[in-house]
Chains A and B, each alone.
Chain A
Amino acid sequence: MLSSIFEPASIAIVGASNNETKWGGRILKNILSGYKGAVYPVNPKELEVQGLTSYPSVLDIPDDVEMVIMAIPAQLVLQVVEECGKKGVKGLVVLTAGFSETGKSGGELEKRLVSLVRKYGMRMIGPNTLGIVNEPFNLNASVIGKLPRPGHISFITQSGTLGLAIADWTIDMGIGMCKIISTGNKADTDDVDLIKYLDNDSSTGVIAMYIEGITRGRLFLETARRIKKPIIAIKTGRSKRGQKAVFSHTGSIAGSDEIYSAAFKQAGILRVDTIDEVFDAALAFTCQPLPRGNNVAILSNGGGASIVASDECERLGLNIVDLTPETREKIKAVIPEFASSSNPVDTAGTVSFKIYTESIKALLRDPNVDALIVIYVHTQLSNAIPPAEAVVEIKLKCEKPVIACWMGGAGTEQGVDILKSGCLPNYSVPERAVKALAALVKHRDFLKTAKIDDAMPENLEG
């Protein structure tokens, strides 16, 4: 059960150390910083580690141990896994490197590791993982600096250091996260297991993935098709072309990347190109409803920004919809005479709580409008707070998605904080806001076209 890894009642750290610059020291410190369950350092050379009694082996721990984290040399791993099996441990997180990623003999060692893990009915993340984080459980069993802010995004990452950097970045950006999982070599637990687990995990709202390769492709595809939570993936290695020795046109054109794109589309996985886009989209999913359709309205105090947004909408297949005459009348009543009441609505530089409130209200009530992008361009003469208060207040009463774009950096901070506290996804430039909205629209399409409830086809293992 993967819950033994993510929500263990007790944890032993084999290779625990007093030296926090070592992995076994860092990870123990991270666990102790938040985790509420029992923690047992294992290190035969120490009597005490970071203030806790240290045990010579897992078998010497007097109580039950549900999960074990290993930060020990590769040649010791099999023996410790055997001991864990005998102890009745349920879950393993193996940080140790030196397995299949190093070549053939490492691959052999990994095979023996997996069969040992399975012999005792345990589950394992890794080897060669940087650990896992489960924020709702206050568990940081990783080498990531600190726990993220609470949130509903769960992030599965294959790359070690890049994944780690991304995870640290999300924490710096204040992006709320639920789980961060460094998969390592995926020798036992792979992407299929993890997306299934996260689908059933009530604290996960969105699954974000950094993928270099998938092990059980067809099974992954069919599993993802049956998951209704949004799955956003960045898949690297696009540049690899099809084989060069050409037998057929198909063989030369159909590189693995093209096939990944097709598979993701069939599975209803949103494939994005950049790391920013993964989390921009994920943020929108965690705090906004899906739109009914692709008809978008844009409100802005600056014409240029709304044109940029409109162009990006068109590029991504979002429709800048015609507003009803009633909507336009209501907007005309609050904006200056020379401003534009047609979509995109441009207040011609004027900003106030009333203008934004009345315009947003009218736009969201318009039956033609499925989603709204509210842009505020900061100037020395305007105040970023009132429009932010307006959008947050209206949004609380509405079922349509609203995406915010407060542009200008310095001077907008307080407005941006209001948006954040009101769970309004805010982006620094219009293109990012539009891309995030396009992801919501795309997922809505996937729910109609790609996602299914049918039973899984048989014989997909391997």
Chain B
Amino acid sequence: MSLVLTEHEAKKLLAKYGIPVTKESIAGNADEAYAIASQIGTLVAMKISSPDISHKSDVGGVELNISAGDAKATYDKIISRINNAVPDARIEGVLVQQMAPPGHEVIVGLKKDAQFGHALMFGLGGIFVEVYKDVSFRVAPIGIKEALDMISEIKGYPILKGLRKKMPADIDAIARVLVSVSEMAQKENIIELDINPLIAGEIQTIAVDARAMIEG
């Protein structure tokens, strides 16, 4: 049996293995949304949380750059849109989370392969992964050296090093995330996992969105 985790559940799993994740909580009503947004203290992203909806933005379930003052109204807006678009969906509430800090979008993934067990994937996020498939793979478990090799192997590596005076990413911090994901693979019986994006900045490296399927 496979079990799909919600974004919030997937991130709790990442946090358990020391991977930095966005500050976030699930609001069960508009007042809670306001309280969480105020506590986070920066602009927030608000995303529908439902085990039945995995492509949240496709159904109008995501709003970005919301201030605490607008959180209540945004909560109601998202819920009513979902009620219209996916009337049967079980709704846990709305995930209120810190907006991603600036940085490069990268993807860290994991897949259980029938022949070799867990395999890790790394690449630049967004169009780089969708169109160019500029990614590298390793069979888990890996150590920090193999993680660094994985990162430097992709064609887009110079971008992460800070091309043309653009902000570089903290390569070591990305490598630590890869090692942590390698470590959790077997312990958590993961079938598939995407951290997409992992925002890789100069100072902060943080999982902004995640999806996971585990053996339940």
A residues adjacent to B (C-beta < 8 A):
213-214, 217-218, 221, 247-251, 253-254, 256, 258-263, 266
Contact = CB atoms under 8 A, between A and B. Distances in A.
Contact of B139 (A250, A251, A259): A259
Given A221-B139, A261-B137, A266-B139, A248 B213 contact: yes
Contacts, number: 80
Contacts of B213: 247-248
A357 B143 CA distance: 49
A236 to B, nearest CB: 14
A214 B115 contact: yes
B117 A217 contact: yes
B4 A247 contact: yes
B81 interface: no
19 contacts: A214-B116, A217-B113, A217-B116, A218-B117, A221-B116, A247-B4, A247-B54, A247-B192, A249-B107, A250-B193, A254-B109, A256-B114, A259-B113, A259-B115, A259-B137, A259-B139, A262-B119, A262-B137, A266-B138
B129 A260 contact: no
B2 to A, nearest CB: 9
Contacts of A214: 115-116
Contacts of A260: 115-116
Contacts of A218: 116-117, 139
A254 B113 contact: yes
A249 B137 contact: no
Contacts of B136: 262
B194 interface: yes
A131 B15 CA distance: 54
Interface in B89-118: 107, 109-111, 113-117
Contacts of B202: none
Contacts of B114: 256
Q: Which 3 A-B pairs have CB atoms at the shortest separation, nearest pair first?
A: A250-B109, A262-B137, A217-B116
Contact of A248 (B111, B113, B130, B139): B111
Contacts of B115: 213-214, 217, 256, 259-260, 263
Contacts of B196: 248-249
A218 B194 CA distance: 23
From A214, A248, A250, residue with most partner B Cβ within 10 Å? A250
B121 interface: yes
A266 B136 CA distance: 12
A248 B193 CA distance: 7
